[in-house]
A and B are shown apart, each in its own frame.
Chain A
Amino acid sequence: MSRHIMYSVREGMLGFRRAPMATTVSVTIVSITLTLFGLFALLTYNIQQLVNMVRSRMTVEIFIDYDLTDNERMRLEDRIRQVKGVTGLFFISKEEALRRFREDFGDDPLELLGENPLPASFQIQLDPAFRVSGRFQSVMDQLSALDGVDEVVGHNKLFQVVDQYSYAVMLIDSVIFILVLISTVFLVANSLRLTIIAQKRTVQIMELVGATRAFIRRPYLIQGLLQGGIGGAIASLVVWGAVQFVSLRIPNLLTAPLLLLVVPLVMGLLLGLIGSEIGLKRFLPV
């Protein structure tokens, strides 16, 4: 068995030397297609990240009644925590609010009015799932109904705008993404399928001299895996290079997790195997 595996690996690699033109064309097609796919996946990921970032910066502020005692405030805090969608809150006392006002505006309301007019408040953090306009409004309504709450300030309008645009962008992006994915699968698999079909005669001769089907198939599957892998690796490198290039000029514009950079490589390997398998099935059923 190991003899066969060694032979298959060697033959799989020799396939590059035996058909350099077909292999080069195939690897080029695979790398170009997967580069486009990788760049588009990167774009999609970053659009999603941008939308999430905008949403994460949107907080809800609850201004509490001016004359609320400490005990009442603590009870209110407990009730706020129980509202579905609230993941955390941060209390801003009247004094803290005054300090922030002075910092932000330079004026001192205490000097002007003789007393601190600013109410204490809670800054609420929401579960990301509740940062869409419909669910956000429901949280706002629940918070407004609590005793001791004077006013709830959110950015529901902004949420609606973000929702509306992000939905449209993601819809267009998803449609294009699916089209690019289908084209990638088709082009890569077909390119490798054609490489195999070009060697139909060789496969038939192998059958005539007593090679088992598994023995014939293995080198071609390895060859497909290698071609897809090389094409995918080139695509991964190009995408990585593009990220570096953009980041040097506009820092922090793009984020690219390692997994995203590895996607073209993994897809190349997978599609290489599938393409070769389809090609072999044409004239060498299992």
Chain B
Amino acid sequence: MIQMVNVGYRLGKNTIISGVNLRVNAGDFVCVVGPSGAGKSTLLRLIHMQIFPTQGSIRVADYDAHRIHPREIPYVRRKVGIVFQDFKLLEDRDVYDNVAFALYASGVKRRHIKKRILKILAEVGLSHRRYAMTLELSGGEQQRVAIARALVNEPFVLLADEPTGNLDAESTRDVLGLLKRINTKGTAILMATHKEDLVRELPVHIIRLRHGKVIE
């Protein structure tokens, strides 16, 4: 569960977001919609504990953003998967190693790793591409690798920051369909996008953000 109460974030004199209240429960699909600069990415970065609120409180699973020790942050990130518009894949490794890395980092035993990777790659439809280098993949495929990497540790929520921002229409449909399937299996999704028309047809809870404030 994610709970944000009256959260604000200032960077110098600029207020990036303020007074945000948000709750994401298991199985929710929430979309944060707003134009560029509205504070969507900041919201996700706060939940992922890349930055910390200057006002209000955030709880992610059992961790409080104000009280968390820096050494505990990696453990939060294993419970909160994240994908980005630019995929952030390791370009010097193949698909398999990109996903395996997240498991090694979590201390998963070697004998369990292969099984879990094959399972997650099958779920995202990339079993046949597991030995391909990431630069050989299409944008849609790269985003699916990123989703597989984010999900392989079985997080309770997946944060998706403009996951379709770099994709063509067909790949966008694929990725959204995949996110929907993941959500139906119980993983909560919190997606940020500036394209409201993308999510209108999805059975999701929409939060509109403008100038750092929730307007709806």
Contact = CB atoms under 8 A, between A and B. Distances in A.
Contacts of B149: 209
A179 interface: no
Given A18-B92, A19-B92, A202-B92, A209 B107 contact: no
What class of interface size applies to chain A in its complex with B?
Answer: 10 to 19
Contacts of B82: 208
B131 interface: no
A206 B110 contact: no
B88 A210 contact: no
Nearest to A19: B92
B96 to A, nearest CB: 13
B90 A210 contact: no
Contacts of A208: 48, 50, 77, 82, 88
B156 to A, nearest CB: 13
A80 B110 CA distance: 76
Contacts of A209: 77, 101-102, 105, 149-150
A259 interface: no
A281 to B, nearest CB: 15
Interface in A190-216: 202, 205-213, 215
Contacts of B150: 209
A211 B74 contact: yes
A210 B104 contact: no
Contact of B105 (A18, A19, A210): A210
Contacts of A7: 104
A210 B101 contact: no
Interface string B96-116: 000001101111011000000
A4 interface: yes
B107 A4 contact: yes
Identify whether the interface residues of A are mostly helix, strand, loop, or mixed: helix
Interface string A112-136: 0000000000000000000000000
Interface string B63-80: 000000001001111100
A3 B107 contact: yes
A212 B74 contact: yes
Given A3-B107, A3-B109, A210 B74 contact: yes
B77 A205 contact: no
Contacts of B102: 209-210
The residue among B78, B92, B105, B150 with the most chain A CB atoms within 10 A of its own CB is: B105
Contacts of B109: 3
B47 to A, nearest CB: 13
Interface string A213-241: 10100000000000000000000000000
Given A209-B149, A210-B153, A215 B105 contact: yes
A210 B89 CA distance: 14
B92 A212 contact: no
Contact of A205 (B74, B90, B153): B90
A18 B94 CA distance: 11
Interface string B148-188: 01100100000000000000000000000000000000000
B193 to A, nearest CB: 19
Given A3-B110, A209-B105, A210-B105, A202 B77 contact: no
Contact of A210 (B71, B75, B93, B110): B75
Contacts of A215: 104-105
Contacts of B92: 18-19, 202
A66 to B, nearest CB: 88
Nearest to B99: A209
A219 to B, nearest CB: 10
Contacts of B106: 210
12 contacts: A3-B104, A3-B109, A4-B107, A18-B92, A202-B92, A205-B88, A206-B105, A209-B77, A210-B102, A212-B74, A212-B105, A213-B74
Q: Which 7 A-B pairs have the closest CB atoms?
A: A211-B105, A210-B77, A210-B78, A18-B92, A209-B102, A210-B74, A212-B74
Given A208-B82, A215-B104, 11 more contacts: A3-B109, A18-B93, A19-B92, A205-B88, A205-B90, A206-B101, A207-B74, A209-B101, A209-B149, A210-B102, A210-B153
Interface of B: 48, 50, 71, 74-78, 82, 88-90, 92-93, 101-102, 104-107, 109-110, 149-150, 153
